[in-house]
Amino acid sequence: MAKRILTLNQISVRGLERLPRERYEIASEFTNPDAILLRSHKLGAADIADSVLAIARAGAGTNNIPVDACTQRGIPVFNSPGANANAVKELVAAGLLLGSRGIIDGVDYVAGLRGISDAAALNQALEANKKRFKGNELQGKTLGVVGLGAIGSLVADMALTLGMDVIGYDPALSVDAAWRLSSQVRKADTLSMVFARSDYVTLHLPALESTRGLVSAELLQAMPADSCLLNFARQEIVDEDALLAALERGGLRKYIADFPSPALIGRKDVILMPHIGASTDEAEDNCAIMAADQLRDFLENGNIRNA
Ligand code: MLT
């Protein structure tokens, strides 16, 4: 009998193709599914039917899944670490550029010139205002990378290609990641050392009890006044009250994050994106393929990978 896979989000077709129709029935509604395949749907423990044998997430983090409850019930939870790392890395590159150059204000300014039909008048307006949008180069600046897993290590390599000096910090650095990491990435002994010595700090950590509020008032205080903090990982890693206080006292030039937060929206010293780090066709395909393959390997062979 075909296995029933309940999909709780739109999953890339390339991923679904890994579950052949002769062996799998896939639908967004089932009363007794054998497995759940999802992306960002917030799943409650009570939503998981007794029939469920495994859950797979087409994404890296598992904080939308009640993992402890699943573990107690013997349900493996698979995720797709690394499958969207390149997409996130590229958005971090954009974040660094948005933090260093007057791109957002400059683009807004040009959009406001709509209606000036005379090229000479347009030029005059640009010449008179261009200086307002002057920025700084990334080359020669220091980037602190907190978390050197699949995403952090790619970000470190990308920053090296921009001519940045990179300091990395990861107390749980795996042997594999250490091998992958360029020897040009200097390792910091403490987190405060990274915050104190960096012009830009970028966070690449999962949301865990131990990382909640990790970026504290103390760490923010250690940052040079002209520095920028990038958070393309999880919102709760940064203590938002401490962040607001740091921005208010001018202790930080910019906060650039991939999450909108009501207290931060509209501030000139904040750039917020709508959690689009992994939103590329390629990343969605890669994550869905990895999640579907793991589910199939478990349902057909009992193998557990990445759980
Ligand atoms: C992830 O956990 O993979 C990212 O937050 C991206 C996402 O799922 O949208």
Quick: pLDDT tens for 134-184: 999 999 999 999 999 999 999 999 999 999 999 999 988 888 888 889 999
Are residues 73 and 31 part of one domain? yes
Range of the domain at 247: 85-101+136-272
Do residues 176 and 258 share a domain?
A: yes
217: domain CATH number is 3.40.50.720
Indicate whether 128 belongs to any domain.
no
Q: Sorting pLDDT into bands at 50, 70 and 90, what band is 306?
A: low
Which atom of ligand 1 lies nearest, measured to the CA of 80?
3
The answer to whether residue 22 is domain-embedded is yes
Size of the chain in residues? 307
56 lines ligand 1 (CB under 6 A): no
- Same domain assignment for residues 143 and 159: yes
pTM metric for this prediction: 0.94
Question: Which strand ranges, in their side-by-side order, compose the sheet holding 200-203?
Answer: 186-187, 165-169, 142-146, 200-203, 228-231, 254-257, 270-272
pLDDT digits (tens, 9 = 90+) for 121-143: 999 999 999 999 999 999 999 99
- pLDDT mean across residues, the chain: 96
Q: Check pocket membership of 277 for ligand 1, CB cut-off 6 A.
A: yes
Q: Is 278 near ligand 1, meaning CB less than 6 Å away?
A: yes
Are residues 285 and 148 located together in one domain of the fold? no
Task: Note whether 158 and 249 are same-domain residues.
Answer: yes
Q: ipTM for the complex? A: 0.91
Are 40 and 183 in the same domain? no
pLDDT in tens, 191-241: 999 999 999 999 999 999 999 999 999 999 999 999 999 999 999 999 999
For 105, 123, 129, 258, 284, the CA distances from 119, given in Å and listed in that order, are: 21, 6, 16, 37, 43
172/110: higher pLDDT: 110
Mutate to test the pocket of ligand 1, among 11, 38, 40 (most ligand atoms within 8 A of CB): 40
Domain count along the chain: 2
